[in-house]
Structure 1
Amino acid sequence: MNCILLFIEYGVIKITIVLFLLAGLGEIGGGYLIWLWLREGRPFYFGVFGGIALALYGVVATFQSFPSFGRVYAAYGGVFIILSVLWGWGVDKKAPDLYDWIGAIICLVGVSVMLWAPRN
Structure 2
Amino acid sequence: MSSLTIYAIYVGAALAEIAGCFAFWAWFRSGQSALWLVPGLILLALFAWLLTLAPSEHAGRAYAAYGGVYITTSLLWLWLAEGQRPDGWDLAGGALALLAAGIILFGPRSGAT
TM-score (norm 2): 0.93
- Mapped partners of 1:65, 1:81: distance in 2: 20
Residue 38 (structure 1) shift: 1.3
Matched, 1:12 2:10: no
Matched, 1:62 2:52: yes
Higher helix fraction: Structure 1 or Structure 2? 1
Amino acid at match of 2:97: C
Residue 21 (structure 1) shift: 1.0
| Equivalent residue runs for 1:99-110 within 5 Å | 99-110=89-100
Amino acid at match of 1:61: L
Q: Which runs of 5+ in 2 are unaligned?
A: none
Higher RCO (Cα < 8 Å, 6 or more apart):
2
Partner SS, residue 2 of structure 2? helix
| Equivalent residue runs for 1:1-120 within 5 Å | 12-120=2-110
- Which portions of structure 1, spanning 4 or more consecutive aligned residues, are displaced by more than 2 angstroms? none
**CA deviations over 1:9-56 (Å, ceiling 9, x no partner):** xx5211101100110011000000111011112112211110110111
Instruction: Work out which of the two has the higher radius of gyration on C-alpha atoms and give 1 or 2.
Output: 1
Q: Which runs of 5+ in 1 are unaligned?
A: 1-10
TM-score (norm 1): 0.88
Matched residue pairs, number?
110
